[in-house]
Structure formats: structure tokens, C-alpha cells
Amino acid sequence: MHQVNVGKIKFGDGHSLVLIAGPCAIESESSCLEAAGRLKNIAARLEVPFIFKSSFDKANRLSVGSYRGPGIKKGLEILKKVKTKFKLPILSDVHCVKDVLPAAQVLDIIQIPAFLCRQTDLILAAARTGKVVNIKKGQFLAPWDMLPIIKKVESAGNKQILITERGASFGYNNLVTDFRSLAIMRNFGYPVIYDATHSVQLPGGQGGCSGGQTEFVGGLSRAAVAFGCDGLFLEVHANPKIALCDGANMINFKELEELLKQVKKIRQAL
């Protein structure tokens, strides 16, 4: 397996389970900085390698009135402050080619959203930056369909690739996780991340926005670590009930800490 390096953090065989966590979208500078600080403290106490994530623009919202974030200029300014203040690696997603280069000036990992995982120009632009590229498997794809997408990144001379499983469409407004996909995609030679919070999302389940079933986040996370993944992707908020984006499938800080204690024991047992 190719080892993927993000600063001092290493993904892959023989390395610790990595946590990628943060609020779905940047709601304000103060809330983003507070979340990053709390998450860093939790991860440090439990000795879990940690990468902060949050989106500056959620361009794939169902409704035109849904909250998207502060936009690329203000959003990247906030993420840069997080990076500087807390000395944390940063992950965020890009939705169009023109945003890739400015994002690469701040981000350590450029994420390709699940809905855009087949957008060749976007993937190649991200790959050419030389940054680590995290590709989320589309809900509409089989795990073996990710191999040609990996080849797109490799064609640009970039082998710093992460693949993220986030559930597969299961009828209308529902997702299901096939844990076989973790093993299938790891066999492509790159680390695999499990996105537990988006895997419990109910796309469009509330009419104008998505719902979620957070009661299943813990069980799915434990199962993914037991089955074999290289990192967990978890969206976390101080109070998910009032979150401006994806609150229905986010967990709070207390839930995160308890979950990390559990998955760390599972990882050690393996």
C-alpha cells in the first residue's frame, strides 16, 4: 500500500487510525476556531492523529435556500487561521476547477465531493497541485468503479491519494454501507477512510433538505474500524440540533470522545 503523508501524519498499513473531523460547514470564524480547539484537545488526550475539516462552500445543497458557508475567500481565511493557531492539517472540498489553486494555498488535503467524483477536469486540477487528494466514492458507484478514478489522479503524477466510503444509495432517500467496499478499495493500494456521519444521511429525507440517523454513527464506526479502515471521517458540532448544515447526521463533542475511546480499543485489538 502507498503510504500517504500529511505533515507528520501517516496513513496506511502499520500506522495509527487517523481522525478527520469538524463541522460540516464553516458557520463563523469564532465557532470554527472553537471547534478546532476542542477537537485538537480531545484527539491529543486520546493520542489520535487529527486533521481538521470544514467546508467553505457547500455547493451541493438540495435547496437554493440552504446554508452553503461563507464562500471561498472568507472561508479560506478562516481555515488559514485555524491552521496557524492550532498547527493542524486542514481538509476541505472543492466544487469547481477555478477554486482548486486558491484552495491549495491553504489546504493540506483537497477533497473531491461524492457527487463530483467522476468530474475529470476537477480531479486532474486537484491532482496537479501535488496535494493529497481525498476522493469520496459517489453514492451511485460500486467500489470497483473507483479504480479508474484513482488512475486519473495517478495520470497527473500524484500518488498521494485517499479514498472515502460514505455509503451507497439504497432506494429513495436512504443510504446503506457495504463494508466489503473497504477491503475492495484498499486492494487498489491506497488508504481508505470511512465517513460514518454521511453514511447515516437520508438524502432529501426532509423534503427541502437531508435528514439523518445519528443513532447509527457509533455502531457503523466501530464496525468499519473492526473490518479495516485507515481513518474515520466524522462531522462534529457543539449542538447539532442548531447546526446550519447537516445537523441531522452530525455528532457532538462528548459523543466523539466516547466513540474514539471505543474505536481505539478495537484498533489495538486488531
DSSP string, 235-261: EB-S-GGG-SSSGGG-B-HHHHHHHHH
Looking at the predicted structure, is the pLDDT value of residue 132 above 60? yes
User: For the whole prediction, is pTM greater than 0.85?
Assistant: yes
Half-sphere exposure of 205 (CA within 13 A, CB side): 18
Interval 141-182: pLDDT, tens: 999 999 999 999 999 999 999 999 999 999 998 999 999 999
Looking at the predicted structure, is the pLDDT value of residue 76 above 90? yes
Look at residue 66 in the predicted model and tell me its pLDDT: 86
Look at residue 206 in the predicted model and tell me its pLDDT: 66
The pLDDT confidence band at residue 42, using thresholds 50, 70 and 90, is very high
Structural domain including 28 reads: 4-269
Looking at the predicted structure, is the pLDDT value of residue 228 above 80? yes
Looking at the predicted structure, is the pLDDT value of residue 117 above 60? yes
Could you tell me which residues are beta bridge partners of residue 168? 176
CATH code where residue 52 lies: 3.20.20.70
Is the CB of residue 221 less than 8 Å from the CB of residue 194?
yes
Average pLDDT over residues 57-71: 86
Mean pLDDT over all residues of the chain?
95
Structurally, the chain folds into a number of domains equal to: 1
Look at residue 63 in the predicted model and tell me its pLDDT: 84
**CA distances from residue 189 to 13, 154, 163, 264 in whole angstroms, order as listed:** 10, 12, 10, 24
Looking at the predicted structure, is the pLDDT value of residue 39 above 90? yes
